[in-house]
């Protein structure tokens, strides 16, 4: 069930059925010239919604903002700091706990390393602070979904390429505006660069030209199944 659509009474009744909540986390980030800025949030939200329908878990309203480094200079990207993201995750996690939820899953559609690390760090802080909580904090790629690798033909596909384009074609077909050229940026190892856009002009990592709604639907099903599995594992977790 969607938390934002529930009444106070429905929320209370649902706690008898499930103490699990999934919080979709995304980003507002360029995804080439063909995908919407909200691609990562849409992806995470729809996967959480589908998994919640199968398990009875609650879906919290998504966190639309995340940490974007390498795309920060492209038009439309809005990034927040690690401090803000960690504080958001901690505060929302604490409030969900105070409302009776015990299994908290923060699932991000944005897979940036700094962003994912902030989720994990905030998750650890919740674990330290709250005695009965179980926490999972991860991005969609780290879910370990099986069966989608053979579907994606592009090697090294990672951003606004074959996978994400396929997913948005399946979820929001009218939001896909054509395609973008295939691109594989090369950032220097170890050195942080000022002019990020000069290393990644198109904002695509992979080949969106190979995308299809059928591939998107199959990938979404694989990811949803992996999230359902994680929900059940977290609910049964004992240590
Ligand atoms: Zn993305």
- Domains of the chain (ranges, CATH numbers): 3-235 (3.40.50.10310)
Cα of 41 from ligand 1 centre, angstroms: 8
Ligand 1 centroid, distance to 53 Cα (angstroms): 24
- Best CA proximity match to 38, nearest among 144, 145, 171: 171
Per the structure block, which two tokens stand in for 194?
């000022």
pLDDT for res 150: 85
pLDDT at res. 173: 98
Nearest partner of 47 among 128, 105, 133, judged by Cα = 105
Task: Report the run of H or E that residue 59 belongs to, with start and end.
Answer: strand 58-59
- 223 CA to centre of ligand 1 in angstroms: 15
Model-level pTM? 0.97
CB 223 within 8 A of CB 148: yes
**Residues shown for the chain:** 239
Note down pLDDT in tens along the chain; length 239 residues: 999 999 999 999 999 999 999 999 999 999 999 999 999 999 999 999 999 999 999 999 999 999 999 999 999 999 999 999 999 999 999 999 999 999 999 999 999 999 999 999 999 999 999 999 999 999 999 998 888 888 899 998 999 999 999 999 999 999 999 999 999 999 999 999 999 999 999 999 999 999 999 999 999 999 999 999 999 999 999 98
């Amino acid at each position: 069930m969607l938390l934002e659509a529930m009444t106070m009474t429905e929320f209370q009744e649902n706690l008898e059925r499930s103490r699990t909540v999934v919080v979709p986390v995304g980003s507002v980030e360029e995804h080439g010239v063909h995908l919407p800025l909200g691609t990562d949030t849409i992806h995470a939200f729809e996967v959480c919604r589908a998994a919640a329908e199968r398990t009875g878990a609650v879906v919290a309203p998504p966190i639309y903002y995340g940490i974007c480094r390498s795309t920060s200079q492209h038009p439309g990207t809005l990034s927040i700091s690690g401090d803000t993201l960690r504080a958001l995750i901690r505060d929302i996690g604490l409030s969900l706990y105070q409302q009776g939820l015990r299994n908290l899953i923060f699932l991000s559609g944005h897979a940036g390393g700094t962003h994912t690390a902030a989720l994990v760090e905030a998750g650890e802080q919740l674990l330290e602070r709250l005695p009965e909580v179980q926490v999972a904090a991860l991005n969609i790629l780290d879910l370990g979904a099986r069966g989608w690798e053979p579907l994606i033909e592009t090697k090294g596909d990672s951003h606004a390429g074959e996978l994400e384009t396929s997913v948005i074609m399946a979820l929001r077909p009218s939001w896909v505006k054509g395609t973008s050229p295939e691109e594989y940026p090369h950032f220097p190892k170890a050195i942080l660069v000022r002019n990020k856009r000069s290393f990644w002009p198109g904002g695509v990592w992979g080949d969106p030209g190979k995308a299809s709604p059928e591939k998107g639907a199959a990938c979404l099903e694989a990811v949803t199944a992996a999230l359902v599995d994680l929900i059940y594992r977290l609910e049964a977790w004992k240590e």
